[in-house]
Amino acid sequence: MEAWDNLFLDYIKTMTFRFSTSVQNFADRVRDRHGVYQWHPIHSLYDPTVFIGLYHEGDWSRFIWHIGSKLAFWCGGDILRLKEKSFWQFLVKRTKADHVCENEVEQKALKEMGIEARIHPILFFDPVEKYPLSFKPSKNPHVWMTSHTGREEEYGVRLIEEIANEVPEITFHIFGSGIQEKIGNIRYYGWIPTEKMDEIIKLFHCGFRGNEFDGCPHTVSKAMLLGQYSISRIKYPYVDSYETKEELVKLLKDLKNKIKPNLEGRKYWFSVLSEYPWS
């Protein structure tokens, strides 16, 4: 068994996990791989517990009535939902717990609700070794991103469609949205299995994330592990960020000048993704 797996299993000997139903697919993958001890509403009430994702009344109520020590890991969309529920805000912020989020944008939103949270970039349950250094420079870079059908504006797909002709040397690869087709220098994949996408992106040069409010995405973390150069609307260490369309175009045009892999960024993210906020 890999050293990483031993480290993770040491954690879960004394820690219980409760995944929101809103991240159920993710939870299933983690449990299948690691045998995570799942929180039970009766038997686990006194166990130290990590609550991953707090999206709705079921999540909030279980978090509040849990008696043992607890850590809330906020995923992004759950923060926006809590902002709309003043009654649940009142209860959650008065519940003694350690709160963790993934970036300064989330941290600020939680603080506005009276919840103090520390930052840990992302929960990354796959072994980091699964994403080897694979960056090779190119004068015709390939940029990849993910999206969801019906949420193209939110994820930055519409922005990329708007500026794609300004960077004709770049091919954009969009996973999870649209049908399988290629229009100009944009290729749409629709939904494909994560394992297949992970193999495809190893050939690329940059992971792009256009969300203005977001948890730290795998688009950023996987790209950094592969030695690529991520671009994100939200700021992260060793990741290029932008505020305007013009700044984004400038960053994209500069990709062809990246002649070496992003080794410093990879080293940082390799270390961060090997740690957990409940350690």
Among residues 68, 84, 119, which one ends one of the domains? 119
With cut-offs at 50, 70 and 90, classify the pLDDT of residue 6.
very low
Number of domains within the chain: 2
Decide if pLDDT at 278 tops 60: yes
Q: Which residue range forms the structural domain that includes residue 154?
A: 128-272
Mean pLDDT score of the chain: 88
pLDDT in tens, 264-277: 999 999 888 877 66
Among residues 88, 119, 150, which one ends one of the domains? 119
Q: Are residues 263 and 194 in the same domain?
A: yes
pLDDT in tens, 110-156: 999 999 999 987 767 777 888 999 999 999 999 999 999 999 999 99
Q: Are residues 157 and 49 in the same domain?
A: no
Of all residues in the chain, the percent with pLDDT exceeding 70 is 88
Q: Are residues 169 and 141 in the same domain?
A: yes
pLDDT value for 123: 67
d(CA 113, CA 73): 16
Among residues 119, 152, 177, which one ends one of the domains? 119
pLDDT value for 12: 45
Average pLDDT over residues 239-256: 97
d(CA 206, CA 201): 9
184 inside domain: yes
Which tokens is 243 given? Answer: 């505020």
Structure-token match 């940029």, residue found? 143
Decide if pLDDT at 11 tops 50: no
Cross-strand pairs, 71: 50, 98
Which tokens is 195 given? Answer: 């394992």
d(CA 227, CA 224): 5
Q: Are residues 147 and 256 in the same domain?
A: yes
Using the 8-state DSSP alphabet, how is residue 38 labeled? B
Distance of CA 137 to the CA centre of its chain: 25
d(CA 256, CA 137): 7
102 inside domain: yes
Using the 8-state DSSP alphabet, how is residue 178 labeled? S
d(CA 279, CA 266): 22
Secondary structure in 3-state letters for 148-172: CCCCHHHHCHHHHHHHHHHCCCCEE
d(CA 194, CA 254): 28
pTM of the predicted model, to two decimals?
A: 0.79
Decide if pLDDT at 7 tops 60: no
Average pLDDT over residues 15-26: 81
Q: Are residues 182 and 234 in the same domain?
A: yes
Q: Are residues 16 and 100 in the same domain?
A: yes
